[in-house]
Amino acid sequence: MQILKQSMVFWVAGILFFCFLSGALPQNVRIHLTEYRDPVTGMEFVLVKGGCYEMGDTFGDATLKHEKPVHEVCVDDIYLGKYEVTVGEFRMFVTDSGYRTEAERGDGCSVYDTWKKEGDKNWRNPGFPQDDRHPVVCVSWNDSKAFADWLKSKTGSP
């Protein structure tokens, strides 16, 4: 059960670092570095080269209409967080901005044992012990976006 709980923590926390697309870093940094350390949070980012691929039903056995037609999709280079966003990094954002997560403003977050929302659970109290080095959990896509926007504003990125 402990392993499953830890896996869930890393899965949820992993969602956060996808918010750090190329816009999270200043333009001059994006051109030259394969790795970058944010001066505000100390977070590490790595360059993921962009490219093109075919999206859709490439095997011809699709049953869903939105899988056709196959079309080319191209993505730009991005910088991706090397590690999950930690409780400490998220705390820095909350302290600086006064932000309250959706779980804090609403009815809590879903917890491991029941996968039902509990009103007193949020990133500060997810239902198990954490310190500032652990990945942040109980945050939504909107919370993650707010964190990424805050980081962009601190680094001077457009």
Q: What is the pLDDT of residue 68?
A: 81
Stretches in the chain below the pLDDT threshold 50:
1-30, 158
Domain count, the chain: 1
- Segments forming the whole domain that contains residue 36: 2-155
Q: What is the pLDDT of residue 32?
A: 57
List of E strands, 42-141: 44-48, 51-55, 71-75, 78-81, 109-110, 117-118
